[in-house]
Amino acid sequence: MSRRIRVLIVDDSTFVRQALTRMLGADPEIVVAGQAVDGREAIDKVHELDPDVVTMDVQMPRMGGLEALARIMAEHPVPVLLLSSLTREGAEVTLKGLELGALDFVDKSRVQGAMNLLELGEELRAKVKALGSIPASRLRAAPVALARLERPVASDQRAELVVIGTSTGGPAALQAIIPRLPEGLHSAVLVVQHMPPGFTRSLAERLASMSALPVREAEDGEPVAAGQVLIAPAGIHMKLRRRGAGLRVWLDEEPRSALHRPAVDVLMASAAKLSGERCLGVLLTGMGSDGVAGLRAIREAGGRTFAESEETCVIYGMPKAAAEAGVVDRSVPLHRMADEILAAV
């Protein structure tokens, strides 16, 4: 058997630590290397045990998860999976943790009652195994503020609609792109980020606070206009409808069979149908293959397709699947993606 993924569990609740130990220990590829009751002990244990993954509660006494996370990423970087709660404050703290270097999170509040925490086992194990395979070179510290780019010369085939899809590692990747797009962009930007319901509005607000473009969570029926960024709300698919000469947002639950809601494939297919050669599809870091069919639809409609290259992906899953399917026009490292989008627009 290959080497097992060693996990450090950090949580001030004895029950939660025990539940997480049982959940993770049920997988033969994972072993719990240790536990910590607060952020201060977590820092010591990371240095002592050198785990492959840390699961971190964000709200703890003595030293909270965010302070510990910042110290860990500065002193001994390791993939961190946050355990979050679906409250307004919880969502904002979680997104701040992703900015500080955490790679993903699990919403532990979506189950009813502590005894149902075990229902999170499948998601938790899948995410721990994904993070445990990430090379240390891809661990990101907090994003560095970048000067906005001058608008490059427009290409012959100008995109009027940019559709971005991403999953694990996406919030940090979006922060490397959206704030670098200039005010007055001659295109609308639509984003699907795989997240639990309740978190996408906070994501939009955080991106808006950093960006020249207005960024907000999309609402059903609103117009899709150039120079704005709309984030698909979690829990429902985002599609497009043509009304007169313009496009409008259409929020819908179909297809219910889709693995993700919203799905990148669903939005990209809708955009391809209505925007055709004026559409640009962009696929960023994430697990799985959502976005492959969407990029194919955009390409077949005459549009262009970019995918984040392996060298900068936190999880080279979705972009890899698209590249292997032959639906990617260009693989682009994250630090060049804003430039490429501007050149296409």
Supply the residues annotated as catalytic: 167, 194, 290
Show the tokens assigned to 280. Answer: 């640009």
Alpha carbon distance 298, 277 (integer Å) = 8
The 5-10 sheet, strands edge to edge? 30-36, 5-10, 53-57, 80-84, 104-107
**What's the gap between Cα 53 and its chain centre?**
18
**DSSP reduced 3-state for 321:** helix
The 237-243 sheet, strands edge to edge? 223-224, 246-252, 237-243
Nearest to 30 by CA among 5, 48, 59, 49: 5
Alpha carbon distance 164, 19 (integer Å) = 36
CA dihedral 107, 81, 53, 55 (to 10 degrees): -60
Q: Where are the beta strands (DSSP E) in 113-232?
A: 161-166, 188-193, 215-217, 223-224, 229-231
**What's the gap between Cα 184 and its chain centre?**
25
> For the chain, how many residues are written?
345
- Assess contact for 146 and 212: CB atoms under 8 A: no
